[in-house]
Structure 1
Amino acid sequence: MKKSITIIGSGFSSLAASCYLAKEGFDVTILEKNSTVGGRARQLIKDGFTFDIGPTWYWMPDVFEKFFDDFGKEPSDYYHLDKLNPAYVVYFDKLDTIQIPDNLNDIFDIFEIQEKGSSKHLESFLNNAKHNYDVAIKDLVYRPGISITELITPVTIKKANQFFSTIRTSVRKNIKNNRLQQIMEFPVLFLGAKPSNTPSFYSFMNYADFGLGTWHPKGGMYEVVKAMYLLALELGVKIKTNQNVEKINVEKGVVKSVVSNGEILYSDVVLSGADYHHTETLLDEKYRGYSEKYWDSKIFAPSSLLFYVAFDKKIKDVSHHTLFFDTEFDVHAKDIYDDPKWPEKPLFYASFPSKTDDSVAPEGQEAGIFLIPIAPGIEDSPEIREKYFKNIIERFETLTDQKVIESILFKESFCVKDFINDYNSYKGNAYGLANILTQTAFLRPKIISKKVKNLFFTGQLTVPGPGVPPSIISGKIVSDLIKKSFDKTSL
């Protein structure tokens, strides 16, 4: 008799885990709260426009390749990838930009133009970053976060100082140009923490940026979700949508079933890829591994105010990915991490996927996604959303020297309340726990329940952390632990 596994949620980590577990012979069922799979990586389709609601950056292509290769597949079996050139553009002032090319030699040239001699410092920095990438992505991130000993290897001992210094210190040691500093500090924002709080070992994100490049799956990031969904179905995974899990039942310390839409569903194992804090609220209090005080004490990655905007014309002087650094990042960061409140002058990001992908907008028109990072848990109202849209769109017009407001066909927004309502996200966070030193590896919430046998967790609140590639890796890690907990001959 096959052992049955119920997976709560269908985000990247859940889909990855379901594939690995089904391949090993488990009877796997996914229960998804929403009407479509993908968790935070859903789509908005309206009037011929297609928007990725969640992630828009495709970094670390090797992680995706490794996942599909584990099943004898390739990403190209499911979707087409294009490498973006420029990878992204950064605005500092009106029509004042730096473009990041798709290859290192051109990036070195860009740096040299901005600061004489900086390219040699960048090359040295990236050599170390590549080594960190090889150590992290090919080894450390696949460890389950059970013990500190996982981090103690001959290589990490040599790099111990990089866990106690910061990205900001490393970046600014030799490169003095403020614009270049901001560009080099930008990638760690994907880890959900300030550069001044992120260990310098995480420079591997700079190698992911400059060394591996920025890619785009034609049709958007949801094509990756669809690929993993199709693979899961090929492997025999059962996927049910519109399933709201209301309770996890435990008997004598062993998980027995879940209650979804009022129906009891029995299972040998329950794996949650849903919000970790929310999942524990589905348990009787005595079975919860972490208290409310624990969660309140954690440093969370930002939430986001997002706008999905359809334009009736093509937008000039922007790239597929465009960053707007025309205000002070450190001031904005304080409003996220130190004194949580709405920022007065927020930095923002805009994605125009229709610049490189004609499938996401009607001919001659443009799909735009705008994002402002904000503190989780702050007030969210239609009035506040509208105020901030006006703020960024007016700055956008000034910085790019064009009128766009009158060309808006429609816009939709997504913010703290939506993260809570749609994903049961703790305080409406968008990216999980920040990857600071005290929340790294074995210091993150555990993949294996501390109090309930056969209850497991996966996703951005546990190891290895926030982001799409880490979520896929998290699914691999938890599936390995589940497999080890059962005798394969009993499946």
Structure 2
Amino acid sequence: MKKVSVVGAGIGGLTAAIYLQNYGYQVEVFEKNSRPGGKMDIIEENGFKFDTGPTIVMMPEIYQNPFKDTGVDYKDYFKLQRVNPFMDVYIDGVRTALSSDLVDLASIFESQGEYEMEGFLNYLADIYSKYRNAKDNFIYKSFRGPKDFYNFKTLIQAYKLKTFSSSFEALSKHIKNPQLRNLLAFQTLYIGISPFNGPSIYNIIPMIELTSGVWFIQGGMFQYAAALEKRFLELGGVIRYDTEVTEIVVDTDNSAIGVQTTAGFHESQAVVANSDFPYTVENLINIPEKRLGKYTKKRIKQLDYSMSCYILYLGVNKNFSELGLHTIRMSEDFEGNVQAIENGIFPDDPSFYIYNPSTIDNSFAPSDQSAIYVLIPVSNLKGTNLGKQLKQTI
């Protein structure tokens, strides 16, 4: 039986491990921490718990598929709950409850006049066409080599996506009201991308919210990591916790032959690296630069990174029942806020996001108390003095 080593028991590593194990490979996962999840971790202290990674669940079928595809019912492993309205957004002090129900969402635009309603419907038609194209031709398709992308059919579909304009520019063609534009623009920040510079393809994010809704995993996001771990072990896989991979060992023909770990060498016929790509190239692949192809260590250092975030985990002795699960307070100058982030400046009036799972799940905090997660988008640390600014601000 062919052996496969997986670096990291994060969500990507565990998902890949489940499919490989189910296909008949013998899979070993190596994780430096003492539990699964990677960035989808959890902090537990004094009766409070906090998700440290993602907090918004969209496209629930992606979460369900590793269980469905291996012959079990996902409901036996984790529980999903739909959230609607899914987000409260405050712009200039005015609260708008965002819904994934099209009738409710359309009423927001219709209240601003017929032209805004018409623009919203035109925007939906345009972005749905791009969403369907991206889903069928790119999101669910593997690109293993140049010919997978550089062929007539794929290039035509890529052209139809019309990603040459920014997300905000594409939005502005249809929506003229600045508050309504901001209401649809902020979603690109979910993935650290500026709506003013990021390509318009990222406008499919609000379309995904409409087509699949927004969901909550009962008990928190870490429960999903635990569910993946359980399914992988049921299939006969092996996880070695507290075992850090220090090198992906590669032979002279660039084939992986195993991993070197803090517990010794483990031979395998293939390696899946779920560690961050720059870290993997710079620290785990110890081969001459000329064998790295286009992704040399020098090129990795020159990569641009998306924005980062500053997070507060607050256990408070009050039940904020008036605060929904997801809340965003947008800066009065949203574009200036984003520009400051891109220029490595800590904004004077930052936008921020609040996650309050205690409002629908009492497992996050003691009775009549709340576990509050506050996230502020900030610049990444590459080439900035942001760390110093943060200390001065605090």
2:184 alignment partner in structure 1: 184
Residues 107-132 of structure 1 show CA distances to partners (whole Å, capped at 9, x for unaligned) of 10122224543233222322333333
Task: Find the aligned partners of 1:373 and 1:156 in 2 and give their Cα distance.
Answer: 34
1:15 alignment partner in structure 2: 14
Task: Find the aligned partners of 2:366 and 2:386 in 1 and give their Cα distance.
Answer: 32
> Normalising to structure 1: TM-score of the pair?
0.73
Structure 1 residues 59 and 69, CA gap change in structure 2 (3 angstroms): same
1:300 corresponds to 2:305: yes
Structure 1 residues 323 and 114, CA gap change in structure 2 (3 angstroms): farther
Structure 1 residues 153 and 194, CA gap change in structure 2 (3 angstroms): farther
1:327 to 320, 332, 346: 332
The higher-RCO structure (CA 8 Å, 6+ apart) is 1
Task: Find the aligned partners of 2:322 and 2:152 in 1 and give their Cα distance.
Answer: 48
1:273 alignment partner in structure 2: 274
Task: Give unpaired runs (5+ residues) of structure 2.
Answer: none
1:135 to 133, 136, 151: 133
Task: Find the aligned partners of 1:72 and 1:127 in 2 and give their Cα distance.
Answer: 37
1:387 corresponds to 2:393: yes
**Greater CA drift, 212-221 or 340-349:** 340-349
- Percent identity over the alignment is 28
**Greater CA drift, 227-236 or 370-379:** 370-379
> Normalising to structure 2: TM-score of the pair?
0.90
Structure 1 residues 262 and 66, CA gap change in structure 2 (3 angstroms): closer
Displacement of 1:190 in angstroms is 2.7
**Greater CA drift, 32-41 or 260-269:** 260-269
Alignment of 1:55-134 (within 5 A): 55-94=54-93, 96-134=94-132
**Greater CA drift, 195-204 or 39-48:** 195-204
**Greater CA drift, 223-232 or 244-253:** 244-253
Displacement of 1:276 in angstroms is 1.3
Residues 338-381 of structure 1 show CA distances to partners (whole Å, capped at 9, x for unaligned) of x2233333211110011111221122111100111122225576
1:201 alignment partner in structure 2: 201
1:259 alignment partner in structure 2: 260
Residues 434-457 of structure 1 show CA distances to partners (whole Å, capped at 9, x for unaligned) of xxxxxxxxxxxxxxxxxxxxxxxx
Displacement of 1:334 in angstroms is 2.2
Displacement of 1:306 in angstroms is 0.9
Displacement of 1:177 in angstroms is 1.4
Q: Tell me the SS of whatever aligns to 1:117.
A: helix
Task: Find the aligned partners of 1:57 and 1:264 in 2 and give their Cα distance.
Answer: 38
Q: Tell me the SS of whatever aligns to 1:5.
A: strand
Alignment of 1:431-446 (within 5 A): none
Task: Give unpaired runs (5+ residues) of structure 1.
Answer: 389-491
Residues 15-73 of structure 1 show CA distances to partners (whole Å, capped at 9, x for unaligned) of 11001100111110111111211110001111111210110000111322334322223
Matched residues, number = 385
2:284 alignment partner in structure 1: 282
Residues 235-280 of structure 1 show CA distances to partners (whole Å, capped at 9, x for unaligned) of 1111111111112222313322322115111121111100112112
User: For residue 206 of structure 1, what is the amino acid of its counterpart?
Assistant: P
1:353 alignment partner in structure 2: 357
Residues 365-423 of structure 1 show CA distances to partners (whole Å, capped at 9, x for unaligned) of 111001111222255769936835xxxxxxxxxxxxxxxxxxxxxxxxxxxxxxxxxxx
Residues 168-213 of structure 1 show CA distances to partners (whole Å, capped at 9, x for unaligned) of 1221112111121112112222343222333323332121123322
1:6 corresponds to 2:5: yes
2:173 alignment partner in structure 1: 173
Task: Find the aligned partners of 2:248 and 2:154 in 1 and give their Cα distance.
Answer: 41
Structure 1 residues 32 and 155, CA gap change in structure 2 (3 angstroms): closer
Task: Find the aligned partners of 2:102 and 2:387 in 1 and give their Cα distance.
Answer: 44
Q: Tell me the SS of whatever aligns to 1:332.
A: helix
Task: Find the aligned partners of 2:370 and 2:9 in 1 and give their Cα distance.
Answer: 30
Structure 1 residues 249 and 194, CA gap change in structure 2 (3 angstroms): same
